[in-house]
Amino acid sequence: MRIAALDMGEARIGIAVSDELGITAQGVGVVQRRGGKRDLEALAERLAPYLPERLVVGLPLNMNGTEGPQAAKVRAFATQVAEHLALPLEFWDERLTTVAAERALLEADLSRRRRRDLIDQVAATLILQGYLDRHS
């Protein structure tokens, strides 16, 4: 069963999918946010070849574990995405995933521009791999 994961940003949505056995996560791209239905359709198009059976979305919690305004926005949009894709939805604590993604890209010695292009995809991959590791 393939699982898809999203890292929701203000400007971009990072996308990752698992292998068919649900062991490893791979980044499969980024959708530039344009708003509303266009975002839903772009995500559906990007995920269609993988036929995921579950959607995991990173939830931006505060460092003390509480949910702030950004978490509420992510919950609302993720619910729309899950309904549009007709997939069950789970949230995953994404605290520090962007920091870890940035660190990994810095260690790979990528240019600032290349890091910016990849950070959301890498963050989605880290979210999904954490989820897979916990559920294996």
Q: What is the mean pLDDT of the chain?
A: 92
Whether residue 69 is predicted with pLDDT greater than 80 in this model: the reply is yes
Whether residue 114 is predicted with pLDDT greater than 90 in this model: the reply is no
Number of domains composing the chain: 1
Q: What is the pLDDT of residues 22-61, one digit of tens each?
A: 999 999 999 999 998 999 999 999 999 999 999 999 999 9
Q: How confident is the model at residue 112 (pLDDT cuts 50, 70, 90)?
A: confident
- Domain containing 86 equals 3-134
Residue 113, domain CATH: 3.30.420.140
Do the Cβ atoms of 120 and 85 come closer than 8 Å? no
Do the Cβ atoms of 27 and 49 come closer than 8 Å? no
Under the phi-then-psi rule, with left for phi > 0, alpha for psi from -120 to 50, and beta for the rest, what region is 100? alpha
From residue 75, alpha-carbon distances to 24, 32, 100, 105, 135 in Å are 25, 19, 22, 27, 21
